[in-house]
Structures are given as C-alpha cells and as structure tokens.
C-alpha cells in the first residue's frame, strides 16, 4: 500500500506543483497589489458596499475592500476558493478511473493488493495533495502579508484556510466516489461539481429565500467574507461537510469493492 | 497430483449479455494448459474472474488450493499474469515499472529481472510511452515472471512479439515449468497449443469443452471458430 501511495504521489507531483504554485502565486500577487490599489479602493469601497445583493454575495457589505482583511477576503478568498475546489475535483475524479481508462488497471490489480488497499492508498494521496496545496498557499499568502509589512489576522486567516481545506476534502470525497463508480475520467464533471457548489453558495447569498439553505453547500463554512468579518460559522454546516465527506469516502469503498473492473 | 486451478460451475453474466455459463475446469500442477476459442467466447472473462477483476454470479474458483475470493491477495502473490493488452503508466520508465511491481510484491527480483530483460532484449531505460506493443509485452512478461510465481496466467501473450522473442518466451515458460510452475495459456495460435501445451480446452459461446488431445489439426481447429459464427 505504501508503494502505491508513493507511486501515486510521484505521478501527481506535477499537477500538484502547477496548481498550488498558480493558485498560491495568484493569491500572493493579489495581496501585493493591495498597496498600489489602496488609494483607488477607498473610493470604490463605498460604492461596492451599496450594491445590494451583489455586495452581500461577495461580502462587500460587511467588509471594506479598502482594508487588507477586506481586500484579502474578497479577492484572494474567491481565487483560492475556486482554484482549490477545482484542483480537488480534478485530482479526485480521475485518480481511480484513470486506471481503467488508461488500461493500467490490469497491471495494478494483478499485484497482490486488495481493492481496499489500492483505494486507501489513492485516497491518502488525494488527502496529502490537498494538505500540501493548503500549506503551499498558506506560505505564499503569509509571504504576501510580510512583503507588504501588514499584520496578519492570524485567527481569521487560520479559520479561513482550515475551512477551505475541509471544503476541498468534501469536494474531493464526492469526486472520489464518482471516480470509484466510473470507468472513465470525468474531469468535466469534476470541474462542474466544483462550480455548481460555488454557484449554489453565491445564489444562496443573493436570493433571500435561499439564504437559510446555503449551509448545506461546502462553500458556506469556508466563506472568507464571513470569516474575516467575524461572523460565526454554523456548526451544522461543518458537521454536514464532514458527514458528506465520510459518506462519499465509504460509498467509494463499497462500490469499488463490488463492481467489475473494465479491461 | 494436485490442481493449480479448479473452477466449479462458474457463471458470469454481463446484464443481459452472455459471459460464461457453468464452466468447470481443472488444471494440474506443472501443466502447460492451452485455453483456446474465438473472440468473445469467454476466455478472458474466465481469466478475469480467476484474478478477481470480475465478480462472478455463481460457482467456485480455487487457485493453488486457495479460494479466489477469500484469499485474493495471497493468490495474486503466487500468480504471474500477462493481460492481452499490456498497458502501464506512460510516464514511467521500463525499469521503474519492473521495480515497482517487485516492490509491491515485497521481493528483491533484480537478478531475475535482469536475466529476463537480457534474454528478451528489453531496453529498461525507455519510457513506456515510447514502446511498441511488442516491447510493452516484454515488460509484461518480466513483471509476470520476475517473482518466480507458482502459476502463470497468460492471455494471448505472443501477439506483437517477433518470432525470436516468441521462441525465447516459450523457452522461459518451459524452464519455469520444469521448476514446478503451472501455466494457463490463452491463445488463438494453433502451433503454440500443439507445440507447447500438454492439455487443452476450448471455450465456445461461454461454455467450456475439454479436448481429448492438445494435438489438433488445422481443420479441426478452424471448425471451432467456424461453427461459432453459424
């Protein structure tokens, strides 16, 4: 199992580096832009905060984008949220199905390993990649704050990055379960799932009648604007997130154990 | 004499499509057993059921005295399998694939692998994506043989191999069989059955029939295929 895990990590290292450096680098770049845009932001912040549902959706009614916290939450929060969700989905949705699509499954599954062990090794690889992704981005965002000489709001920042990590794990678990069911790499579906979760959260924040239901989606407990404005994260949202991730992971094991593997 | 493979009343259906039906087969230890039949007859389904790739509907499969479902991992540790289409991870080098297979088996197979690569003229520095079908088959042979298994399961192993490598491949099989290995050889090549196999069975339309002799003439051999088309 250890060898499969290491081999899987090795095969995914390029994807991991590209995504973590691109998303983290974009976040770093956004942070460093703050100083040069600060003057203009002060004029724009007031206007942005009075755009009704749009301001609510992107958190600009509660946070001023003229502050570094507000700027980080609205700009980097969106970039990191979308980027990390897509990385999690793309990585997880292909990790099992690629064996059947690429016909390497007959080689892998002829080795003395149970399907459970293969699944566990691949699941651990996804988890490790998401953890590594979060750590790389965290380091780059901290570097951005240090570059500007701004104080990092440690508590909110830690909550945001932890929430994002859990959100990534939840999305990855859902895609992992789909990968266990499908003999083909459904990358498009993975990206679609990440975007649907994101849109669900945005629509829920724009449409007043849906506001009470956004806690079901994974983006709800990792919303940067809410976290940086000090709003309390609903425990139910986190519990649902963990439950969905566990249920999806268990489903992946049960389905993969029972189904025929394509040649 | 014990049996390396014992299949009792194996049935596997793919929804409404036919897989195999009521297949029973015994392969004695030390045998080179020819498994012939037209495309889609159920040879690969039988083999893939033996290896646990497919979940069969009915029947019982015993490999090397072990239950194919309960002792799945233990069986795979003692089996060398070569699929009909040899696919690996494109980005890996040949040497990495061979070392990976040995590492998962927790065996130091370097000496055996080196001997096999030399005899099969396999360049281990190339990447899988650079290899032809024949060369990928050679990698598959090394992965199936390097751990000196008790049972070989080969599914159309010689397609894509040049005549010299085919000859060396069968020399290797005979050498391992002389040391106690058993070989199940699924093939469409009559000469392979006649020359190398000691017993044979034919699979047609999902059913298995043992042959009285492995020495079959061309007309009889082709009749198995023609009748299937009618």
pLDDT tens track for B35-60? 888 888 888 899 999 999 999 999 99
pLDDT digits (tens, 9 = 90+) for B170-190: 999 999 999 999 999 998 888
Strands B199-204 and B32-36: parallel
Task: Give the pLDDT confidence of A115-159 residue by residue, as tens digits.
Answer: 999 999 999 999 999 999 999 999 999 999 999 888 889 999 999
Q: Is residue A49 part of a domain?
A: yes
Domain coverage including residue A159: 2-258
- A250 touches A176 (CB < 8 A): no
Q: What is the pLDDT of residue B109?
A: 92
What does the alpha-carbon distance between residue B188 and residue B170 come to, in Å, rounded to a whole number? 15
Q: What share of chain A is helix, strand, coil (3-state, %, to 5)?
A: 80, 0, 20
Q: What contacts A162, CB < 8 A, 6 or more positions away?
A: none
What is the C-alpha separation between B21 and B31, in angstroms, rounded? 24
Task: Measure CB to CB from residue A11 to each of B74, B91, B103 and give the nearest one.
Answer: B91
- What ipTM does the predicted assembly reach? 0.87
CA distance B42 to chain A (A): 13
Summarize pLDDT for A65-105 with one digit per residue, the tens: 778 888 888 889 999 999 999 999 999 999 998 888 888 88
Considering only CB atoms, which chain A residues are within 8 Å of B147?
Answer: none
Place of tokens 């069968």: B170
Burial of A209 (0-12, 13-18, 19+ CB in 10 A): exposed
Chain A positions in Cβ-Cβ contact with residue B90 (cut-off 8 Å): 102
Bridge partners of A79, per DSSP, are none
In a domain, A227, yes or no: yes
Is A116 at the interface with chain B, CB within 8 A? no
Split at pLDDT 50, 70, 90, the class of B128 is: very high
**Which residue among B76, B87, B100 places its CB closest to the CB of A112?**
B76
Residue A259 to chain B, least CA–CA distance (Å): 7
CB B37 within 8 A of CB B224: yes
Looking at residue B66, the DSSP 8-state letter turns out to be: E
Domain count, chain A: 1
Q: What is the mean pLDDT of residues A55-65?
A: 69
Residue A70 lies in a domain: yes
Could you tell me which chain B residue has the CA closest to the CA of A113? B73
pLDDT digits (tens, 9 = 90+) for B76-107: 999 999 998 888 888 899 999 999 999 999 99
Cα separation, B197 vs B185, in Å, equals 8
**CA nearest to A108, candidates B187, B53, B69:** B53
Q: Is residue A263 part of a domain?
A: no
Residue of A nearest to B82 (CA): A107
Tell whether the model's pLDDT for residue B230 goes beyond 60: no
CA distance A199 to A205: 10
Of A7, A110, A258, the CB nearest to B76: A110
Which domains, from first to last, does chain B contain? 1-78+151-159+171-230 (3.40.50.300), 80-148 (no CATH)
Tell me whether residue A168 is in a domain.
Answer: yes
Q: What is the mean pLDDT of residues B133-151?
A: 94
Q: Minimum mean pLDDT among A1-15, A26-40, B41-55: which range? A: A26-40
């Amino acid at each position: 199992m250890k060898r499969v895990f290491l081999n899987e990590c090795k095969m995914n290292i390029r994807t991991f580096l590209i995504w973590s450096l691109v998303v983290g680098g974009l976040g770093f770049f956004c942070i460093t832009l703050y100083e040069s845009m600060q003057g203009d932001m002060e004029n724009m912040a007031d206007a942005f905060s009075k755009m009704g549902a749009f301001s609510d959706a992107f958190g600009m009614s509660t946070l001023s984008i003229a502050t570094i916290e507000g700027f980080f939450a609205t700009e980097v929060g969106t970039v990191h949220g979308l980027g990390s969700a897509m990385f999690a989905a793309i990585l997880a949705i292909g990790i099992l199905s690629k064996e059947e699509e690429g016909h390497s499954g007959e080689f892998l599954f002829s080795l003395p390993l149970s399907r459970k062990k293969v699944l566990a090794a691949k699941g651990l690889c996804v988890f490790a990649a998401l953890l590594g992704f979060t750590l790389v981005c965290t380091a780059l965002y901290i570097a951005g704050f240090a570059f500007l000489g701004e104080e990092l709001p440690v508590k909110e920042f830690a909550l945001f990055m932890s929430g994002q990590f859990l959100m990534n794990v939840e999305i990855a678990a859902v895609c992992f379960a789909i990968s266990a069911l499908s003999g083909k790499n459904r990358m498009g579906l993975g990206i679609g799932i990440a975007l649907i979760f994101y849109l669900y959260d945005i629509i829920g924040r724009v449409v007043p009648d849906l506001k009470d239901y956004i806690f079901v989606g994974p983006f709800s407990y990792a919303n940067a604007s809410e976290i940086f404005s000090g709003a309390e994260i609903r425990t139910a949202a986190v519990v649902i997130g963990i439950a969905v991730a566990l249920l999806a992971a268990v489903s992946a094991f049960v389905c993969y154990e029972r189904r025929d593997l394509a040649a | 004499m014990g049996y390396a493979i014992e299949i009792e009343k194996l049935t596997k259906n793919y929804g409404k499509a036919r897989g195999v039906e009521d297949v029973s087969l015994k392969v004695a230890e030390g045998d080179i057993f020819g498994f012939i039949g037209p495309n889609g007859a159920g040879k690969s389904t039988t083999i893939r059921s033996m290896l646990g790739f497919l979940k069969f509907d009915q029947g019982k499969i015993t490999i090397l005295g072990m239950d194919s479902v309960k002792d799945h991992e233990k069986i795979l540790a003692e089996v060398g399998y070569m699929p009909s289409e040899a696919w690996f991870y494109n980005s890996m080098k040949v040497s990495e694939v061979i070392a990976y297979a040995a590492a998962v088996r927790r065996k130091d197979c370097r000496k055996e692998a080196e001997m096999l690569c030399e005899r099969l003229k396999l360049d281990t520095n190339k990447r899988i994506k650079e290899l032809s079908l024949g060369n990928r088959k050679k990698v598959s042979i090394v992965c199936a043989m390097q751990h000196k298994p008790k049972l070989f399961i080969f599914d159309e192993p010689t397609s894509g191999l040049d005549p010299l490598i085919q000859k060396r491949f069968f020399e290797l099989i005979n050498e391992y069989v002389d040391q106690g290995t058993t070989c199940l050889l699924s093939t469409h090549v009559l000469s392979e059955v006649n020359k190398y196999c000691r017993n044979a069975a034919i699979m047609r339309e999902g059913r298995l029939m043992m042959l009285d002799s492995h020495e079959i003439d061309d007309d009889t051999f082709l009749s198995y295929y023609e009748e299937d088309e009618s």
